[in-house]
Amino acid sequence: MSSFAGRMKEYPNISLDRFDRENLHARAYFLSHCHKDHMKGLKGPLLKRKLKFSLTVKLYCSFVTKELLLSNPKYGFWEDHIVALELESPTQISLIDEASGEKEEVVVSLLPAGHCPGSVMFLVEGAQGTVLYTGDFRLAEGDASRIDLLHSGSRVKDIRSVYLDSTFYDPRYYQIPSREACLSGIRGLVQDWLSKSAYHVVWLNCKAAYGYEYLFTNLGEEFHTQIHVNSLDMFKKMPEILSHVTTERATQIHACRHPKDEEFMRGTRLPCGMWASDGTPLKIISIKPSTIWFGERTQKTNVIVRTGASSYRACFSFHSSYSEIRDFLSYLQPINIYPSVIPIGRTHADVTELSDGLFEQADLAPVRKRLMIQEIPLTNLPHPPVDLVHLPLTPISTADYLDCTESNDEEDEEDEEDSDLGKEEEEGERVEKKREGMEGSDSVSSPCWEEFFTTEILTDSQNNSQNSQPPTCSHTIPSIPISAGLGLNQADTMLIQSEDICQGDATIETGWKESASHTPQTEPVNLSESQMSSDFEVPSTPDSHPPGPDDLLVLYRSLAAGENVELTKLDTNRLIHQ
DNA sequence: GCGATCAGAT
DNA sequence: CACATCTGATCGC
């Protein structure tokens, strides 16, 4: 969850994704996407009052975000103060102090973020340099090179600071299967189940948040059915999504939700009931999108995990993985990086508490050892505070991954009463397939997920014509691969064994169904070589140029003091070359 | 009665 | 561990 306070050092007159406290004084507001944790204060009475008396204060966001925001009446008072901007269209914005008339000019561009519909990053250019606020994002490796506005001619722009979605900027989340791989896994599971009979239905147990829509549209397309959801209101101007959802419950794919009693209806009931219209009981499996991550030095190619007789988890992430973030940062080479997210599972108190006893050699030794056998020179990426926080907690050692038990061992055994279902499902078991690692070139067609995530809405006078000319996918800039193609080792096999032990017979691992039989071109979405290959390549173990005890001490004192730690290149060099 | 904050839930 | 909420309790205005 974002803990970004709302303002950037370079441009303190604007506020992004935070609207309370100091941000009440901002001259302009920016909303990167329509998730509640980025909307703090946005419906507050203080802000409401400020708007009433202001002629110049605006909220800038994408068209889709505007539409989603205004579909909630609580934000209706923003209507006359929202300026929707086109993607990748630099826009000059005057930041006017209404009291003094003082003025500052900035040029802001919205870049696709791939996090949820309408999500964008904000590129701000002005007298204090070029800075990038990423909001939340999921970009695949190499995507930065496809965003024109990050470049000036054939060069990457000089970026002073990146305000970073660091949700998974932690080696523990080194690799997350790509969107395409996750979608393929889900598609395969759904295919197996739905094909059994018309009474076999799938419940996608999605959280109450935007970001699953591409799942709906892709599955809807694939299975020629609409997805049952609670409400269509927010999508009424988004035909691309609207055409794939319905409030009619007579469909085989559901993503409906029930406010109260989700827990006891998992598996054998749908939130909307358990009987077909003719009285036949439905045969239901639930698929819960979750973020699965890869342990140190392991590689999971399975994206579906069975967690009960009729329940599954499917890998699904709204956020870029550690390696995707590193790729992004190594491409942009910003001077400063400001992580916006407190490490998952850690609170500020944790950080404070951890600053004792961190510097024992025993904790750092395994990291150093790994470093010595590191064969691949990695880029001079800074290690942000989040990394440092985790190093002592998850010391890297070669012995660790064998007992690696990820989250799945604690999955509840859900309704087992229907043993019939359980048996049937085992037929759906899938063999893992791997693709040998190869660095992809970006010369083939780009995936353009970004285009989906920023699907422009239909206004009365518009149609979708702009969708036919994706502006976001140029191929002129070669990507800089940072992961080394080490190829596969036995790690994933071992991991699967360990999981089997953990979970017993109830768990069936299913992997990506095909790989040889599908060519990327036959997929509903064109996949680039680089994206296909990156899913199955085993990246080298995350580097660690370990900071020395002195460096850690300085950083931890800052962290413990609650300071906003700024890691600059200077710091990085100190850390790396100490 | 509303907002802010926190604990606890999925 | 939890992606992003949602609900309910408590406190203060």
CATH label of the domain that carries residue A271 = 3.40.50.12650
Give distance CA A42 / C1' B2 (Å): 16
Residues lining strand C at under 7 Å (Cβ) are A 1, 35-38, 115, 136, 167, 172, 207-211, 259, 289-291, 293, 316-319, 344-345, 406-407, 410
Give distance CA A347 / C1' B6 (Å): 14
Dmax over Cα atoms in chain A, in whole Å? 74
Q: What is the mean pLDDT of residues A118-140?
A: 98
Query: In this structure, are A208 and A187 located in the same domain?
Result: yes
What pLDDT score was predicted for residue A562?
40
- Domain assignment present for A137: yes
Band of the pLDDT at A388, cuts 50, 70, 90?
very low
Query: In this structure, are A22 and A162 located in the same domain?
Result: yes
Q: Cα A361 from chain centroid?
A: 35
Q: What is the mean pLDDT of residues A374-402?
A: 29
Cβ contact A50 with chain B strand, < 7 A: no
Band of the pLDDT at A459, cuts 50, 70, 90?
low
Q: What percent of chain A has pLDDT over 90?
A: 48
Q: What is the mean pLDDT of residues A151-167?
A: 97
Query: In this structure, are A131 and A198 located in the same domain?
Result: no
Pairing of strands A91-96, A82-85: unpaired
Task: Based on DSSP, count helices (H) and strands (E) in chain A, helices before strands.
Answer: 16, 21
What pLDDT score was predicted for residue A452?
56
Closest CA to A155 of A530, A476, A481, A470: A476
Band of the pLDDT at A308, cuts 50, 70, 90?
confident
Give distance CA A454 / C1' B9 (Å): 32
* Better-predicted residue by pLDDT, A449 or A40: A40
Query: In this structure, are A143 and A52 located in the same domain?
Result: yes
Query: In this structure, are A31 and A169 located in the same domain?
Result: yes
Query: In this structure, are A30 and A119 located in the same domain?
Result: yes
Radius of gyration of chain A measured on its C-alpha atoms: 24
Query: Model confidence over A56-106: pLDDT tens digits?
Result: 999 999 999 999 999 999 999 999 999 999 999 999 999 999 999 999 999
pTM of the model: 0.68
Query: In this structure, are A244 and A349 located in the same domain?
Result: no
For residue A491, pLDDT over 50 is answered with: no
Band of the pLDDT at A260, cuts 50, 70, 90?
low
* Burial per residue of A112-147, b for 16 or more beta-carbon CB atoms within 10 angstroms, e otherwise: bbbbbbbbbbbbbbbebbbbbbbbbbbbbbbbbbbb
Distance between CA A574 and CA A578 in Å, rounded? 6
Asked if A150 and A111 count as a contact pair (C-beta separation under 8 A), the reply is yes
Q: What is the mean pLDDT of residues A543-553?
A: 44
Give distance CA A198 / C1' B7 (Å): 43
What pLDDT score was predicted for residue A173?
87
* Better-predicted residue by pLDDT, A452 or A19: A19
For residue A522, pLDDT over 50 is answered with: no
Asked if A389 and A358 count as a contact pair (C-beta separation under 8 A), the reply is no
Asked if A489 and A441 count as a contact pair (C-beta separation under 8 A), the reply is no
What pLDDT score was predicted for residue A87?
98
What pLDDT score was predicted for residue A293?
74
Counting the structural domains of chain A, the total is 2
Cβ contact A207 with chain B strand, < 7 A: yes
Distance between CA A33 and CA A31 in Å, rounded? 6
Nucleotide nearest to A288 (CA to C1'): B10
Task: For residue A251, give its domain range.
Answer: 179-315
What pLDDT score was predicted for residue A454?
60
What pLDDT score was predicted for residue A268?
59
The alpha-helical segments, DSSP class H, found in A396-523 are: 419-426, 449-453, 491-503
